[in-house]
Amino acid sequence: MSGSILSFIVGASSLFLAYYLAAVGHGLMEKSGILNLAIDGVFTLGVAIAFAVSVYTLSVPMAILATSIIAALFGLMLAFITTKLPISHGAAGLSTMFLGYGLAALVGLPAKVVENKRLISGSEGLAIIQPSLGYMWVWFYVAVFIVAVTIWYLIEKTKIGAAIRAAGENPASAEALGVNVLAVRLFASGVGYALIGIGAAIFELAYSPVWSQGKGMGYGWIAFAISLSAGRHPILTLVPAMIFAALEKFRFIIESTYNVPTDLGKMLPFVAAIAAMIIFMVTPLKRKLAPPKSLGKIYFREERTV
Amino acid sequence: MVIVRRVKPLPYWIIPIIALLAGIAVSTIILYILAGASPAAVFSAIAYGFTRPGVIAKIFVALTIVGIALLVSFKGSIWNIGGEGQITFGMMAAAWVALFTMLPYINPGLAQASMIILAMIAGGFWALLAALPRAYLGLDEVPVTLIMNYIAYYIVDLLVYGPWRGSSTHNYPRTDTIPSQAMFPQIPGTTMTWDGLFLLIITFIGVWYLLRNTSIGLRIKILGNNPNLLRSSGINVPLTIILALTISGLIAGSVGALYLGGDVYHIGYPIESQTANYGYTGILVAWLSMLELIAVPLAAYIVSALYEAGIKYQTLVGGNLGGMLTSGTSAIVDIFIGSILLLYTILITFSEYKIKIIIER
């Protein structure tokens, strides 16, 4: 019995880390008031970048670094245009999502050609940089713990965190009290998207180290649903991230053992997200876990004086 | 850098055209850098798309109807991102009529009409589920409608994988092909169906009348501009929100029937990797139309031409990427749509504002 629990903990570890990083990054960004609908596109692009960079450089740290930097650039771009200009967060996010999907194919396919040539010529290809996972899973849990505590401390206990929350609740008042809303949102989105990028890289490099066009699509939305079902709280996010990572990792075992169709398991994060959103709206949990009041609302500084 | 309001806004058609041209330029550059594709091939593919009205007719009809559907809710500032889920639900309802009732064998016309009507009801129902928490709890409709797209996918997946799996598909998870009596008849020389054309005309006139001559239309428009006025004049605001989103879902649902009965004829598994994404592309159509009903067909024509251009281009440059670019999920279409919509979203600011660079000394 203890053996099966251990194999459960080990098996789910890499996907748990990937989901958690993406979800917590998403939550951090939305805490600052920017509606983030680009997550699935950038996650898919991140998966492709992690694959391409690891094929070209054969270096895992390089792949993670490159993915997080490019993802962070997308975050900064989104934060800048939605704060500086009076434009719809939803439209900016969805169009970036499309761009991410398209770019992912263009980035990943040429690398796939290189990788396939290597495999045909008898070399091991990407497999040589795959570390034997061994006790890696311990480090995955340590990483999750460190990120969870750091982000929680950042949001709840520091001045920057207070500024992020203020920018999400009421940017106009925050600005009047001396908060630089643009800077705060750039920070939250940059860090948030860097985490989403690292999550995508972990997903590609540690969870399922192969790539084909469309890989990662839909997983960004699962991270989105995980974050929403935990009210964007960095510590609470651990729970749905673990549950849905285990469901995804062991879905074939669950299907064959308990005769539950896999699609039911895939549906669960999304149903949980909507149920949680309704619960957070109507119960006293609202104080802590309801969405930021100005989430997705256009905040346009120049307009105030008119 | 200071952004100031223009004294007089630019004419409304300028920004969409600039965004379109700039978006095509940006896509061409991206494709050149990342796929090594020659700009000439891009332009010839685009020319191909724009000059084949018969070929793009099918996409055009679907996108126009989805665009009109989304326009109804967008007019009320209700951002229905759930067109995809409403279409999926419509497809499911139409498939039920075609596969599991006797109607196609009794009366094909009646069967096709019931496929469309039931698809509308299913789409409307799915939108209503998102409208209720929005109206009574103030729950933001954007994440809810978006998440419900995925729930709709998986509900259909469960059906297709389980009880609806075809008897003549060699145990392969997909539904049977619908009987020929339930297939919508095609207009010769085009890819569209008579049912589609008929539905398009009805929807256009219906929504035109709704927005122009009915109190519901007026309420939806006020909801978009000034919800406080609506509240203070004693009009039931939650009901108006519900109507805006549900009517939007009703219309979007009908596209599900068109897609099943006039295009794919069966539901594949998993549906999320085989959908035409009309629900998302329709958002681009509705945005590009500047929420002017009369401009929706024009926007739909442009987007469907680009859609076709992307598919055509994919066959042209596939070789550059090791011939591995899959034609079903269309990366090139995504690049076109993404860059045009993003530029449009940014540039739209400048129809009402202008940027002044002030150098402080």
Chain B touched by A92 (CB under 8 Å)? yes
Q: How far apart are CA B275 and CA B268, in angstroms?
A: 9
| For residue A88, pLDDT beyond 80 | yes
Q: Tell me, what's the pLDDT at A192?
A: 97
pLDDT tens for B169-203 read 788 889 999 999 999 999 998 999 999 999 999 99
**Cβ atoms within 10 Å of A42's Cβ, excluding its own:** 35
Q: How many CA atoms within 13 Å lie on the side-chain side of B232?
A: 5
- Contact pairs from chain A to chain B, CB under 8 Å: 167
Read out DSSP for B237-287?
HHHHHHHHHHHHHHHHHHHHHHHIIIIISS--SSGGGT---HHHHHHHHHH
- What phi and psi values does residue B236 have, to the nearest 5 degrees? -70, 100
Q: Tell me, what's the pLDDT at B361?
A: 60
Confidence of residue B327 (pLDDT cuts 50, 70, 90): very low
| For residue A233, pLDDT beyond 90 | yes
| For residue A213, pLDDT beyond 90 | no
Average pLDDT in chain A: 89
> Looking at CA atoms only, how far is residue B108 from chain A in angstroms?
34
Q: How far apart are CA A254 and CA A266, in angstroms?
A: 12
Q: Across the interface, do B322 and A116 touch by the CB < 8 Å criterion?
A: yes
Chain A touched by B198 (CB under 8 Å)? no
| For residue A225, pLDDT beyond 60 | yes
Average pLDDT in chain B: 89
List of residues 6+ apart from B218 with CB closer than 8 A: none
Confidence of residue B110 (pLDDT cuts 50, 70, 90): very high
Show the DSSP H helices in A32-59 as ranges: 39-57
> What whole-number percentage of chain A has pLDDT above 90?
58
Chain A touched by B283 (CB under 8 Å)? yes
| For residue B210, pLDDT beyond 60 | yes
CATH architecture of the domain covering A9-305: Orthogonal Bundle (1.10)
Which residue type is seen at A110?
Answer: P
Determine if the peptide bond prior to B185 is cis (ω within 30°). no
List, in order of start, the domains of chain B with CATH numbers: 2-356 (1.10.3470)
Q: How far apart are CA A47 and CA A217, in angstroms?
A: 9
> What whole-number percentage of chain B has pLDDT above 70?
95
Average pLDDT over residues A235-264: 87
With tokens 């805006």, the residue in question is B244
List of residues 6+ apart from B129 with CB closer than 8 A: B148
Q: Looking at chain B from residue 150 to 189, which residues have their Cβ under 8 Å from any Cβ of chain A?
A: 150-151, 154-155, 157-158, 161-162
The domains of chain A are located at: 9-305
User: Which of A39, A74, A210, A263 best tests the B interface by mutation, with the highest count of B CBs <10 A?
Assistant: A263
Q: Tell me, what's the pLDDT at A3?
A: 62
Which DSSP category does B175 fall into?
P
Could you give the ipTM of this predicted complex? 0.89
Average pLDDT over residues A263-274: 91
- What phi and psi values does residue A148 have, to the nearest 5 degrees? -60, -50
